[in-house]
Amino acid sequence: MHRGTVHPGARRQGRDIDVLTLPHIDLGELVAARDHRDDESSFWIDPRTGAIEFCSVDDSAEDFDERGLVPVEPIDTHESYEIMEDFVASVSSREAREKLGQAIRGRGAFGRFRDRMYDYPDLKEPWFAFRDRRMEQLALEWLAFAGLVAEEEVDAAIEALRRSAQPPLRAVLLDVDGVLTVSWTALPGAVEAFAALRASGVPLALVTSTTSRTRAAVGEALRAAGFDVADEEIVTAPVATAAYLAEHHPGARCLLLSSGDVTADLTGVMLVGPDAEQVDVVLVGGAGPELGYPALNRAFGHLLRGARLVAMHRSMFWRTDAGLALDAGAFVAALEAASGTTAEVVGKPAAGLFTAALARLGIEPAEAVMVGDDVDADVLAAQRAGLAGVLVRTGKFLPETLENADGEPDAVLDSVADLPAWLERRR
């Protein structure tokens, strides 16, 4: 869902205050449009374009819904007040919370707000809410739109609120497959979007769960597809695993179970041969013939003797040209069950990839956004790690997966081509 942005210096009630609007939706325009319709009609908004459409018969509502339009509904005053109270309670900055609480509860501000509505001849029904919209977004709008905050406090309160609810984004983490490329071919507009991000100076990192290619091979494939990217900007699962091991198991002797060429990216990791007697970490990478019975049984023995189990990711299967294929997560689960240990997972949906990329950029999680085509492994996982999460409708995106997801992306974009404009509003 979109969040609001601040436009300083707009005029309301004959004086200058900050006005918050949605990126594409103007509340005044909305209300004016609504007032010109009869009571039977409903109106709908396309959240992607801000276009408003009217529905005068019930049959059309289904069509509008299917097209992804959002109905706009009135809510009553009491509910509005509760939402406002909830919102104030949810603001993370204590200072901003106290200031807003005072502004709303003190000096009869809410009643004043209601009374003032009669001063707006074109504003007969101010109580609208967008279904599914975040409460703070609605409340932010009201605060400024109605001058709810005392005049002398407007600037400070809104600024404090904006900072606490929506820290500016200073770095971008991009998933590769399904966001920039599919089968290593650039998606439409992706090369241009990447170039625009680069030109804007925002720090970038590419994060990919792959264990089958080294970062150098990923870099080469991306450059061949037209992206101006350096190998050091790419974080693969083995790269993140090396960082994880250095932090959590420094100097550990690691027995690697993996298919594909991952050792080049395991910089600083002490790998031991299959016959080593002393093993501190059993490290599972990508699945393949290397994870046969002898190797798994050897790993099992080390786990029984106290070695830790570390997995680069725990994906259960992946899609190949020949259908779904069993991935390393299944072997990790088998080793966990047999040895009674719990694996430490580095890559998606764990935070290791994001952490490694952020450490490289020197950026705090709250200052970064992760962009991916997997709502769970990319977007919600990033949000759990404290980043903003943006979903793109390319790659593996399916509308039903988004609908059934346990959370809500900060934004859903048609493709990465829309990212530079979105980011511009959040910096």
Near Mg ion by CB under 5 A: residue from 18, 265, 373, 418:
373
Distance CA 423, CA 52 (A): 24
237 binds Mg ion (CB under 5 A): no
147 binds Mg ion (CB under 5 A): no
CB 336 within 8 A of CB 282: no
Q: How crowded is residue 67: how many other Cβ atoms within 10 Å of its Cβ? A: 10
Near Mg ion by CB under 5 A: residue from 18, 175, 327, 418:
175
Size of the site for Mg ion (CB under 5 A): 4
DSSP β-ladder status, 317-320 and 185-186: unpaired
Q: How far is the CB of 378 from Mg ion (least distance, A)?
A: 6
Nearer to Mg ion, 181 or 258 (CB): 181
From the list 36-44, 82-90, 248-256, 373-381, the region that binds Mg ion by CB under 5 A is 373-381
From the list 63-71, 170-178, 252-260, 339-347, the region that binds Mg ion by CB under 5 A is 170-178
3-state SS of the chain?
CCCCEEEEEEEECCEEEEEEECCCCCHHHHHHHHHCCCCCCEEEECCCCCCEEEECCHHHHHHHHHCCCEEEEECCHHHHHHHHHHHHHHCCCHHHHHHHHHHHHHHHHHHHHHHHHHHCCCCCCCCEEECCCCHHHHHHHHHHHCCCCCHHHHHHHHHHHHHHHCCCCCEEEEECECCCEECCEECCCHHHHHHHHHHHCCCEEEEECCCCCCHHHHHHHHHHCCCCCCHHHEEEHHHHHHHHHHHHCCCCEEEEECCCCCHHHCCCCEEECCCCCCCCEEEECCCCCCCCHHHHHHHHHHHHCCCEEEECCCCCEEEECCEEEECHHHHHHHHHHHHCCCCEECCCCCCHHHHHHHHHHCCCHHHEEEEECCHHHHHHHHHHCCCEEEEECCCCCCHHHHHCCCCCCCEEECCHHHHHHHHHHHC
177 binds Mg ion (CB under 5 A): yes
From the list 24-32, 171-179, 280-288, 291-299, the region that binds Mg ion by CB under 5 A is 171-179
Nearer to Mg ion, 84 or 180 (CB): 180
Provide the token pair at 213.
Answer: 């290619």
Among candidate residues 347, 351, 399, 391, the one with its CA nearest the CA of residue 372: 391
From the list 94-102, 175-183, 300-308, 403-411, the region that binds Mg ion by CB under 5 A is 175-183
Nearer to Mg ion, 47 or 178 (CB): 178
Q: How far is the CB of 175 from Mg ion (least distance, A)?
A: 4
Nearer to Mg ion, 18 or 177 (CB): 177
List C-alpha distances in Å: 125 to 77, 119, 181, 355: 11, 12, 47, 47
Q: How far is the CB of 403 from Mg ion (least distance, A)?
A: 19
From the list 102-110, 193-201, 312-320, 371-379, the region that binds Mg ion by CB under 5 A is 371-379
Per-residue binding letters, 35-64, with Mg ion (x by CB under 5 A): ------------------------------
Nearer to Mg ion, 147 or 329 (CB): 329
Q: How far is the CB of 98 from Mg ion (least distance, A)?
A: 42
Q: How far is the CB of 371 from Mg ion (least distance, A)?
A: 10
From the list 132-140, 357-365, 369-377, 419-427, the region that binds Mg ion by CB under 5 A is 369-377
Near Mg ion by CB under 5 A: residue from 4, 47, 126, 178:
178
Nearer to Mg ion, 22 or 207 (CB): 207
Q: How far is the CB of 208 from Mg ion (least distance, A)?
A: 8
Q: Which residue is nearest to Mg ion (CB)?
A: 178
Nearer to Mg ion, 180 or 282 (CB): 180
Nearer to Mg ion, 175 or 327 (CB): 175
From the list 177-185, 211-219, 309-317, 415-423, the region that binds Mg ion by CB under 5 A is 177-185
Which residues in this chain contact Mg ion in the complex, by CB under 5 A? 175, 177-178, 373
